[in-house]
Structure 1
């Protein structure tokens, strides 16, 4: 690999009470091929890698490009990767607060962070969310592969997108969510056929907006994601239509790495305005092997 020796920061994104989180590789963009970009998360043992490229050095609100890769290829967006990148950039900039204008594939949006004693609280504008009813074919292919039955399914399944489509699947109880054991080969075939990023299964929210969720995305090389912030943005936009404006989503418990993603949704003329946030910590800096 031409990038041998590149420094890589490992950031735990979307911590829960200072623990767990999704380990994410963050590094400066380098002249790598797409194949070499895809190899970085594999070599680092992370689900995702984020490549950062600063457009200018303005201290007040620098412009920064972000690219996201899994072992399967490039993604147009990655919510927990954006949280990780903001923590990485804030650590490099120093100071208590950090703001940047972030550029990803097809979108420009603000991101910001505040330094705490042991971590950084990062947040960003999630952008517009598209929601629609799923077709009978979509449900017929995906739900059996997930292991969701008519007894466990709750009302409100939706196809949602913030760059790529995914299926939001509500289940009636946290126990039903924890018990899921998808057929990953079947699920990948269904998602590939339908063009879905994956499936975000979640428990019915409590009156205080607490939700548990699991994200299955074998089509992008991630059987189950520790934290999936963009799908949480989709859920926040969906629940905003039911009068729920703030949620805290717990993920990663089934993988032994608990994470929490916070989202708020406020009405606007073009649809709900969703802000996503999470705590993150830069754990260490290593070199590509």
Structure 2
């Protein structure tokens, strides 16, 4: 993450403090950082660490935290990780624009799935779409889906998504997924062909990944891309002489490799996502949709 940030911001303005991966370590790192009089804090990463940093900073400096747990947001602490609510609302909004009126959502019991299910429930009234939850647990039989829906949403990843995709072939039911379900293996692309997926634009991410690899070696992931975007926001604000809370809340928002974002006063972050259609040869961006 630090290497990615240094691609977007001058190293003389980037100071790193090790949290040790614990709440106590995060609080100590934040206290040390405050002594340097920073204009902006990027991090921490984990849900355990975010409240410790928020309480230590106590609103004195804006915090761009990389957790995807939206419950941790508070005034002055912005949750910059890609959340289940953001991608779920984005894919449902696009699906509704394409005429989808009823969705069955597979809930595998994971925290990500639970957050996605909550977001889907909240989107029903806003979008005029009917969402039926289908809890699926390992070792248990699949529940009765009832009347066939227009689409099935799978917020998870891996073989569960591929298995569902195989089962939906030739049924006429549209498969919906989020970035968790992206799978670039040729055999997976064949199975997922035709699925609609909400995700950061792979073209923009690919450009960043190439630059990162050329400078540092290795292949960066989404977390590194978030660090790159956060540092890029800091760089843009500093160049505009608005590196402060007011600058961060500029309604025009910011563009990055993980997509356009806008910061809100309650600590939430609005994101726009690319809508991808899975093809046997790769993922094709076809539209843009706003998340929660």
Task: State the TM bucket, normalised to the shorter chain.
Answer: under 0.3
Larger Rg belongs to: 2
Structure 2 length as normaliser, TM-score? Answer: 0.24
Structure 1 length as normaliser, TM-score? Answer: 0.24
Going by fraction, where is strand more abundant, 1 or 2?
1
